[in-house]
A = this chain, B = another copy of it.
């Protein structure tokens, strides 16, 4: 039951068409029933400021195509993450305007102009192997309307490369830092700036990196207090979190 239906119901009570008792019965399951009737995706977008996204891993190509094209028909921006090349080819064949980024493994469709958000968002990665995760963050952030400054290959074993980027870092309103192996980059960056640093551990590494656990623990134990962490390889989530920071969430 949406707003219109609710107003009709209350008016019908006023007009005596239904009794208060009948009205009460029909309102028993209101919040739920209303939602079933409404379009789930649109409501989520309104409520949280983020579009529905297709997590393509573990879905068949056909499923990805079906969901993507159905979402596309509703006119908003659409994003699929962790997409295989074959799924991407199939989606792009069906949905004009869909763009595949093989590095980020994303399929993006931009149908709406997003309002420009506040200040630039910086996205860093420690090494070239961390690029796919950073790129997933870049694609997501740009689809959400943010201007992104990308800084690549600034690992902590060669500090001069990072220090050379201090000016760019100082002007960012939020910073996403992707790093694998020992995962120290977010801490070092956070010590240089006032902005919130969103740390993304990556699964880059071998042996005792344990698929990103070493980086994850390093980031959680950061001695800099302006660091928070998302899941391993979760470039998409980092960008969404940055979006929640950069948009005015209460307006």
Query: Is the CB–CB distance between A159 and B158 below 8 Å?
Result: no
* Interfacial residues of chain A within 227-243, with CB under 8 A of chain B in the complex: 227-234, 236-238, 240-241, 243
Residue A143 at the B interface, CB < 8 A? no
Q: Could you say which interface size class chain A belongs to?
A: 35 or more
Instruction: Give the most central of A21, A174, A210, A226: most B CB within 10 Å.
Output: A226
Q: Which residues of B contact A215 (CB under 8 A)?
A: 221
Encoded as 1 (CB less than 8 Å from any B CB) or 0, chain A from 202 to 244 comes to 0111111111111111111111111111111110111011011
Provide the bound-state CA to CA distance between A223 and B119, in Å. 27
Q: Which residues of B contact A197 (CB under 8 A)?
A: 244
Q: A31-B164, A225-B50 are in contact. Are A157 and B220 (CB under 8 A)?
A: no
Query: Is the CB–CB distance between A160 and B38 below 8 Å?
Result: yes
Provide the bound-state CA to CA distance between A205 and B112, in Å. 30
Residue A70 at the B interface, CB < 8 A? no
Of B13, B119, B157, B226, the contact of A14 (CB 8 Å cutoff)? B13
Q: Which residues of B contact A3 (CB under 8 A)?
A: 24
Q: A10-B20, A208-B216 are in contact. Are A156 and B36 (CB under 8 A)?
A: no
CB distance from A60 to the nearest CB of B (A): 11
Residue in B closest to A166 when the chains form the complex, CB atoms: B32
Q: A13-B14, A230-B220, A241-B227 are in contact. Are A29 and B167 (CB under 8 A)?
A: yes
Encoded as 1 (CB less than 8 Å from any B CB) or 0, chain A from 43 to 83 comes to 11001111001010111000000000000000000000000
Query: Is the CB–CB distance between A224 and B183 below 8 Å?
Result: no
CB distance from A102 to the nearest CB of B (A): 11
Residue A247 at the B interface, CB < 8 A? yes
Provide the bound-state CA to CA distance between A245 and B95, in Å. 37
**6 smallest A-B Cβ distances: which pairs?**
A32-B164, A207-B232, A184-B184, A10-B20, A35-B160, A225-B240
List chain A positions with a Cβ less than 8 A from chain B: 3, 6-7, 10-11, 13-14, 16, 19-21, 23-24, 27, 29-33, 35-36, 38, 40, 43-44, 47-50, 53, 55, 57-59, 119, 126-129, 155-161, 163-167, 170-174, 181-184, 187-188, 190-198, 201, 203-234, 236-238, 240-241, 243-245, 247-250
A-B contact pairs, 7 of them (CB 8 A): A13-B14, A14-B16, A32-B161, A38-B160, A157-B187, A159-B188, A195-B244
